[in-house]
Structure formats: C-alpha cells, structure tokens
Amino acid sequence: MKKMKFLLTVSIILVIFTLAACSNGEEKEEKSADKEGSGEKTTLKVAALESAYGTEMWENVVKSYEEVNPNVEVDLQMEKNLEEVVRPNMQAGDYPDVLLLATNREEALTETLIKEDGVENITDVFDMQVPGEETKVNEKLLEGFTDTLATNPYADGETYLAPMFYSPTGLFYNAGLFEEKGWEVPKTWDEMWELGDKAKEEGISLFTYPTSNYFDTLLGSMLYAAGGADFYSSAMTYEDGIWESEEATKALETVEKLAGYVHPNTVANANPNDFTKNQQLVLDNKALFMPNGNWVVDEMKEAPRAENFAWGMTSIPAFEDDGDRYAFTFFEQIWIPKDAKNKDVAKDFIAYMYSDEAADTFLEAGAVQPIEGITEQLDGQKQTFYSIYDEEGVLPAMGTFASTKPVPGANMGDTLYGSIDSVISGDMTFKEWQEKIEEVSDKLRPALN
C-alpha cells in the first residue's frame, strides 16, 4: 500500500513537471513569436571607402538591400580615410561586419588582416542565390575573377575577398596629340623606344607615372608578357630564384631603360600630395604615357588640358613582334573580418552586391561590377576602356602576391615598388634592385600561409 502511494505521488509529480515544461515551452514560443513580430532587426555594420564614385550609390544600394531583407538594418560608414577611422575601433575589438577596402593601399590594413589570419573564408558566398533573384552569384561573375591571389590570398583554393568594382589599367595618353602628329601607338617596347626618341626631339618626354605604386599594374603586365600566367604565379608565390630568371630580368631591365625617357619632374612629384602634377604632364603634352586606370578621367576632370585633348588607353607593349600584350585588371575587394559579429548576414549582403539592381546603381555612379553583360551597358569613352581586351593580342592580367606570415624587415611591396624612384633617378641599378627583390622573396617563401 505504501509502495502504491509512493508510485502515485511520483506519477503526479512527473505529470506536474511535464505540464510545467510544456507550458514553459509554449511561453518561450510565444515570446519568440512576439520578438519576431516586434520588428526587431539585425544591425549590419558596413564600412566602405569613400572614393571618386561618391557616397550616394552606397546609400541607394543599402536602401534597396534593406527592402529585399527587411529584417536587416544597415549601419553604413563611409570615409575617405577609412583605415584611420576603423583601425582604432578594430584594435579595441569593435569590427565592421563588412569592409569594402582593397589591397595595394598605402595603409595596407587589408593585407595586415590577411597576414594575421583575420579575414573570413567566404567561398560559400559564390554558391549562394543572389538575394531577390533566382541566380547564383557564381553564375553572374565574369570568369577568372575568383581564381586569383587577389581574392584567394593563401593560394589554397579558398576565397576570402570578393571582387567588386573593376577597371582595366594600361598606359593613358592624349589620343588627340597622336592624331595630330600622325604617330602610331607602340605595340612593342622597340617601337616605344623609337617613339620616345622622336618625341624627345620635340621636347616631349615619353613617360611619367603618378607614384611608384602605379608600377604594380605595369610590372604585373610586363611579367605576364615576359613569361605568361604560370611564370607570374611563380613570382607571386616566391619561387626560388624567380626574380633572377631571364623573364624577370627582361622586365626589370626595361624599367631601368625607361628611366632615360621619364619626364625630369616625375620623381619629385611622385608622392600622395603631388601625384596629380605628374598626371597633368600628359594633359599638357609634356609626357606621352603614364600607367593608370580609368579613374584618372574623373580625378582630372577639372584640370586644364591641351587643345583637342582626348583620353586614350593602350596595353603594356609586348617584348617581341606579335607577342601577347597585357592590360592589368585592377579591382576593389569586399570582405568580412573574422571577428565580425554578423557573418551570415554579411555574406547575404555581399551576395546582393552582384544583383542586377545593385549593379545598375553602381554603374550609374561609374563603378563597374565584374558580372556578365555589364560592358554592353557602357557607352562612349568608358566602353572604349573596357573594350581593350577586344583588341587583337591584348589579354587580361590579374593577381597579387600571396599572403605570408609577417616577416620582420621583409615587405615585397616596399622593395619592388618602393625602390623604383631610385631606379628611375639613377641612384640604384636594376641589378641592385633585382638582388634586393630576390632576397626579400627568399625570406617570404618559408612564411607562406
């Protein structure tokens, strides 16, 4: 009897607990439903570099994204000096969820995060459906844009940075002057030297450059032309002896020879404060060519220029007759810090960057996304620039150095591009430059991530 009473008591207690648990679960579900219906949103922090494209396009894209995903509120931060603004916050542990900030900038914040393994793997983004559309991201992207060290910095087949606004680069010149003089645009370096001698007789220098960092696309194209894509990849991954090879020597020697044709004011003005003075040399017919991207048109739109001036752009010359010529494609990158709080929403936002609506908004501001059919929407001068690859013998080049763990005193950018002013001024021979580059390459190779 006592045993039966005990079992009955236990049964009653279990029923009570069960009912309480169900009630608690229902209460939680009701609270969850109430929360979902309360309009509470995820705040996505997006930080984007304010460039020549302006701020309005980003504000419009954010607005259209919020309409597609009403559960997200985007906190947009735009700064011309973005690195200076976000770096202290990041050091304090406050990270944006999404950053539009390219590599190859002087502050090198993106490279720093890459070296510190601080960038999120976003390979899965390219298999995602574009928000508001039925197409996947990788079905819209132009071929090759996620098969480069500029997006896959660890050379491990995984993507960490998504390609954004792209621009073919090359040698910019005054097409009006060439028409007036009856000059042909050189297709080989031999033709370039011949034109340089001809122009010198008329008091015009063959070449200038905004800053030495603009040699990243010039030298990149030369390396492609000297040895092809595989050779370029070997240089970018620090293969032993690569900078002492015949192909690399050909490119570096050409830079040294180019020094004899550079406008004498170039080195003095090749800095962040005075670089437009070098660009002005082309507008004033004091120099024929400069390496640049199509952004130079907007940068110099208010600048005075020679009569009948018209922008022209050509590829980097080939090393031999009928050789391949290359025009390096520069593109900005959008990425997610590994310490971001809202990574899933951040990936959704990046996927939306390739939507037709976002691409159209960007295009209105002059920013071109690497998606299928985009160049068909261009007209006039811009279509001329983006159609450079339609010219026979001109191929796209893209990529950058593979990321490594930090190596004190070994910085390839500083060594490769930072020494160019000294080479141009004659303070350093190409041999000395070559030895320095190979030395740094040797130090970085064991530190590959």
Q: Specify whether 292 is located in the same domain as 188.
A: yes
pLDDT digits (tens, 9 = 90+) for 339-376: 999 999 999 999 999 999 999 999 999 899 999 888 88
CATH number of domain containing 338: 3.40.190.10
Do both 315 and 336 map to the same domain?
no
Closest among 332, 281, 270 to 53, alpha carbons compared: 332
Phi, psi of 321 (to 5 degrees): -60, 135
Q: Is 16 inside a domain boundary?
A: no
Same domain, 192 and 152: no
Q: Work out the average pLDDT over 128-149.
A: 92
Task: Say yes or no to pLDDT of 153 above 70.
Answer: yes
User: What is the average pLDDT across 315-329?
Assistant: 94
- Give tens-digit pLDDT for 75-128: 999 999 999 999 999 999 999 999 999 998 878 899 999 989 999 999 999 999
Quote the number of domains for the chain. 2
419 and 440 both lie in a single domain: yes
For residue 8, the model assigns a pLDDT of 39
Domain contains 388: no
| Residue 364 covered by a domain | yes
Please indicate whether residue 435 or residue 397 has the higher confidence score (pLDDT): 435
- In angstroms, rounded to a whole number, what is the distance separating the alpha carbons of residues 50 and 97? 17
Is the pLDDT at 184 greater than 70? The verdict is: yes
Instruction: Say if residue 249 is in the same domain as residue 302.
Output: yes
Secondary structure class of 325 (helix, strand, coil) = strand
Looking at the domain assignment, is residue 180 inside a domain? yes
Do 223 and 298 belong together in one domain? yes
Same domain flag for 341 and 292: no
| 132, 244: one domain | no
Percent pLDDT > 70 in the chain is 91
Give the Cα separation of 152 and 158 in Å (integer). 6
Q: Tell me, yes or no, whether 248 and 365 share the same domain.
A: no
pLDDT over 80 at 29, yes or no = no
- Percent over 90 (pLDDT), the chain: 73
Q: Which domain holds residue 97?
A: 42-166+330-383
Whether 28 is covered by a domain: the verdict is no
pLDDT value, residue 449: 64
Q: Is residue 91 part of a domain?
A: yes
> Which amino acid, one-letter code, is at 88?
P
- C-alpha 391/C-alpha 185 separation (Å) is 13
393 inside domain: no
> Quick one: 290 and 435 in the same domain?
yes
Q: Mark whether 293 and 408 lie in a shared domain.
A: yes
The answer to whether residue 19 is domain-embedded is no
- At 376 the pLDDT is 85
Specify the DSSP class assigned to residue 103: S
Please check whether residues 80 and 151 belong to one and the same domain: yes
Interval 301-314 mean pLDDT: 96
Scan for tokens 């040797």, then name that residue: 442
Q: Which H or E run contains 313?
A: strand 311-314
pTM assigned to the model: 0.72
CA distance 311 to 296: 10
